[in-house]
A and B are shown apart, each in its own frame.
Chain A
């Protein structure tokens, strides 16, 4: 996977580093935020492949530097520890995305299909390939194990219906980054609507899929992001 990553994304990555003047520390903070958001979100969030690319680049650069250092250097061991920590976050992030793709693959692919021109892709090219392959493998597995022995009218499975959708109505914790006024909160039972104001640092607990809320609060989180 790492080979594919570096081969594929190298072009736009170079453009990116020219535009962005992000320090490596900010980059790591971005990765950590993406990691936590992905972890706590009930659905797959959009891919952050530039961040992943840049972090990979930093890590390989640092590792190649370390190759030249002789053994037992005190500095090198500190660097190694840091690399291990970053690598953990990175792989945990990518793994949690893959788990979600495995869990919701027909829906993920469906959304990818219905995505309009110019809209950013939900999946990185590698993740897209993974999702397609997973779909094909699941299908052929089901066919080999059970379906081909079924009566002919029962030999197809509608994947979209067979695999549960991500539950967009689930509750989340969120941490407020900027002050937002008049956020709409709909209680489940009554028709009444509630307007609240949130300040940075507050941690209200709200259901995810409230579209109005999503617009009002473009930047939520370490805990979760309200993005569809």
Chain B
């Protein structure tokens, strides 16, 4: 679903030290992979820290994790756990996942319509709405009513937002603004445009400052 995300520029081929010794200031620059890149899977990794409600079918005492205590788990009693644990338990068929409140066809339809109507970015229900939808629908679609409709709706919302993002990036560059306000954007959305936009801006900055 997050197909835009993969369209990152391929890292440049690493030049070897000895072949490039001559002039140029960059002959030692063998590590050409951009550090400022973040892999989409790392954004997903962050999203997995979000809490989600599950109904376990086993019982277990409190677990004292480094990041906080979890449990106790009782069969049939809903409990909040991080998504990474929920998915693991689900895969081992030890729980049922209760989708977050916003993952609901009516609410998402409302959101989609609002998103299409407004020129600005509207607030999203979760800072990781895209990643969570993908994770939960891929691994627990049997626990989520109307999974296919939700998938389409979230994709619609995502597409609308990305189109807005591209549009505003375009006007940001063509009007040579010094800063832009990007409220309500999520990390994944920023990530789709980060490498491209920042590189562009850096290049243009270099070109312009050389002209003067």
Contact = CB atoms under 8 A, between A and B. Distances in A.
Contacts of B187: 222
Interface stretch (B104-112, B137-145, B152-160, B176-184): B176-184
A99 B208 contact: no
Contact of A203 (B31, B172, B182, B208): B182
For B17, B60, B84, B178, which residue has the most chain A Cβ atoms within 10 angstroms? B178
A100 B181 contact: no
Given A161-B25, A170-B202, A194-B178, A58 B66 contact: yes
Contacts of B25: 161-164
| Category for how many chain A residues contact B | 35 or more
Contact of A146 (B18, B63, B178): B18
A75 B60 contact: yes
B2 interface: no
A21 interface: no
A203 B33 CA distance: 25
Nearest to B198: A171
Given A24-B66, A39-B38, A171-B205, A204 B179 contact: yes
A42 interface: yes
Contacts, number: 129
B45 A88 contact: yes
Given A162-B28, A163-B29, A79 B63 contact: yes
B201 A171 contact: yes
Contact of B85 (A25, A78, A185): A78
Interface in B129-177: 172, 176-177
B58 interface: yes
A131 interface: no
A142 interface: yes
B190 interface: yes
A204 B176 contact: no
Contacts of B88: 81
B36 A78 contact: no
Contacts of B21: 142, 146
Given A41-B36, A202-B181, A203-B185, 10 more contacts: A25-B66, A96-B35, A102-B31, A103-B31, A167-B202, A170-B198, A187-B178, A194-B178, A202-B183, A205-B180
